[in-house]
Amino acid sequence: MDTAFFIALAASFALNGLIMAVFNWMSNSARFNKYRIRIPKSPQIPPLRKWLNVSLNGLFSTALLLSFLYFLGDRVIHAGLPASFAAFVGETLGVLLLYDFMYYFLHRFMHNRLVLKYVHRTHHLIRFPTAPESIYLHPAENFAGIGLLLLAVTLFGPVSAASFIIVWFVYSIVNVLVHTNFVFPHPAFRLFNFWTTKHDTHHFRMNYNYASIFPFWDQAFGTDK
């Protein structure tokens, strides 16, 4: 891993943060209310509590990633570009599919009565989430989610630095997008709308749509709604 890798990683963090900030602004602007799936009548949690949790989870996520890169990065990530475009697509999709498969079962486990009460309930205090609340989490859940992604990289790897950057960005940005609570009436937003409506159903109904990225796992195990 070289300087270019860390510049690209920092750029992915910056872009993710910018998109989160834009959707947060839209959530607080009445002109976009017509695109909201649901609008809470009052703040669901105290603002100070929300921003403290979100900020600390953001720092925790960054620390986990950097620790992984420091201790294991050279073993599971090789410098530069993949050997071919097909290899790039294969590495990226392979890691994301493996992660999402494992995450389906982790998320379903999080809805076990005791785990939900003591861990996952923190996130589900938000019935109608917005983009920043994508990381309103119990720290144990944050650790488990990121740990699962990095485990998928380790099991599937070694992968190229370019593939890892894309995997991390897709993982991060999909988590933000599914929590935006927006639907836009244009064909260009078809995938976006699919993600947001599926995850809104999860927050509203609780027992459906556990997967994060792909619909296959919920469809296969009877939890698609």
- Please tell me the pTM assigned to this model: 0.95
pLDDT score at 221: 97
pLDDT score at 44: 77
38 inside domain: no
Rounded to an integer, the average pLDDT of 203-220 is 95
pLDDT score at 194: 97
3-state DSSP call for residue 133?
helix
123 inside domain: yes
pLDDT score at 125: 92
The CA R_g of the chain, rounded to the nearest whole Å, is 18
Mean pLDDT (the chain, rounded):
95
Q: What tens digit of pLDDT does each residue of 61-119 get?
A: 999 999 999 999 999 999 888 889 999 999 999 999 999 999 999 999 999 999 999 99
Phi/psi of residue 160, nearest 5 degrees: -75, 160
Range of the domain at 157: 3-23+49-221
128 inside domain: yes
Q: Report the percent of the chain where pLDDT is more than 90.
A: 89
36 inside domain: no
Q: Is the pLDDT of residue 179 over 90?
A: yes
pLDDT score at 79: 87
Rounded to an integer, the average pLDDT of 154-178 is 97
Cα separation of 154 and 74, whole Å? 11
pLDDT class of 193 with cuts at 50, 70, 90: very high
Q: What tens digit of pLDDT does each residue of 145-156 get?
A: 999 999 999 999
197 inside domain: yes
15 inside domain: yes
Rounded to an integer, the average pLDDT of 36-65 is 92
Nearest to 93 by CA among 106, 79, 82: 82
169 inside domain: yes
Token pair of 184, please?
């836009």
Domains: count for the chain = 1
- Alpha-carbon distance values, 75 to 1, 7, 124, 148, 212 (Å): 10, 20, 36, 17, 27
